[in-house]
Each structure stands twice: as C-alpha cells, then as structure tokens.
Amino acid sequence: MASDDIAMLISRVALQDQNAFSDLYKKTSPKLFAICLRILKDRTDAEESLQETYVKIWQRSDRFAASDNPAMPWLMAIARNQSIDMIRSRKPVADEIDTVYDLADAEPGPERQAEIKGEGRRIDRCMEELEADRAQAVRSAYVEGLSYQELAEQYAVPLNTMRTWLRRSLIKLRECMDR
C-alpha cells in the first residue's frame, strides 16, 4: 500500500473515522506485528504491544495529520517504542521468596557504601561539566529510561541530534571519569 494511502487513512482517523481506523489496521497490522514480535520475542506480548500501539495511533493521529512525515515510518516508530517500553516496564520476578529476602539482605558494607558515595560525587562533578540541557538529557535517558524519540520531542530537536548529544555527553563523562 502506498504511503500516501496510509497517510490519508491516518488523516481520516484523526477525524475519529472508525472505518478508516479499521482499514488502517487491516493494511498495516501485519508489518507492525512483525516489529513487535521481533523485539519482544513472544507472541502474546507482541499482540498486547500491537493493541497498545493502535490505541496510541488512535490517540495521536491528529499529530501525524499536522506533519509532513512519511506515514509508515511514523507507525513503525510507535510500534517499536511501545515494544521497548513494554520490555522496560517488566520487573524481574523472584523464583522463590527466599531469593527476595537474600536480595534485601545484600546491603553493602560501610567501606562499599563510602566507595559508592565517592563514585556518585565524581559522577555529579563530571555531570556539572556538561551543558545543562545535555546533562538533563543524559539523566532522563539513563536514569529515567526515556527513549531517544521521547527526548527529541521533549527538547524539540531532531532524533539524530538527540543521539549525537547523548553520545558526545557520554564520551565527555567517560573522559572526566578517567581523569
């Protein structure tokens, strides 16, 4: 199906056209499901991710309709990000209750705590050497777990610019930590 046809369907979905949404699903779901399945490696999880993907498409179709972006990559990015978010949201499950207690008791000793604090101060000092927006983007990506796409939207910069910011910031942090 031509990208123009998909873009037209998305524009109609933005107007809350349920028939267009059904057509969009029929024409794009095999490709989007394949993306979800490739990332999640589990059919049930991929189906759930695909469902959430189409909920987001329904909710965000007006954003696409107002842009000049190609349709299929936009849909594929939503499916990819939804699948990645699903992986991130998973929490490890303890096999036995004893395992949970063992993890809770594994508190580092006083020497290790002092070492961790010192390392934390070094990281904070190195983060201060970065530009403020770069430092916040690094924190958002690697502490809060935001995707590159989410950060690019938050800072209103192109996706590749955000990738460059993060890569260069990590290089500067590594150099600072090696001193």
More reliable by pLDDT, 19 or 2: 19
* pTM of the predicted structure, to 2 decimals: 0.51
For residue 173, name the pLDDT band (cuts at 50, 70, 90): confident
Calpha distance 29→131 (Å, rounded): 42
Biggest CA–CA distance in the chain, Å, is 65
Which pair of tokens denotes residue 99? 């395992």
Residue 111 C-alpha from the chain's centroid:
36
Residue in the block written with tokens 């929490």: 91
**In the chain, where the domains are located:** 3-89, 110-178
Provide long-range contacts, Cβ within 8 A and 24+ apart, for 167-172.
Answer: 168/134, 169/130, 169/134, 169/135, 169/137, 169/138, 170/138, 172/126, 172/129, 172/130
- Is residue 128 exposed (0-12), middle (13-18) or buried (19+ Cβ within 10 Å)? exposed
Average pLDDT over all residues of the chain: 85
pLDDT confidence of residue 179: 81
Question: What average pLDDT does this structure show over 133-153?
Answer: 86
DSSP 3-state percent helix, strand, coil across the chain (nearest 5): 80, 0, 20
The percentage of the chain sitting over the pLDDT mark of 90, rounded to a whole number, equals 44
Quick one: CATH architecture of 3-89? Orthogonal Bundle (1.10)
Number of H helices, E strands in the chain: 9, 0
User: What CATH number matches the domain at 110-178, 3.20.20.140, 3.40.50.2300, 1.10.10.10, 3.30.70.260?
Assistant: 1.10.10.10
The percentage of the chain sitting over the pLDDT mark of 70, rounded to a whole number, equals 88
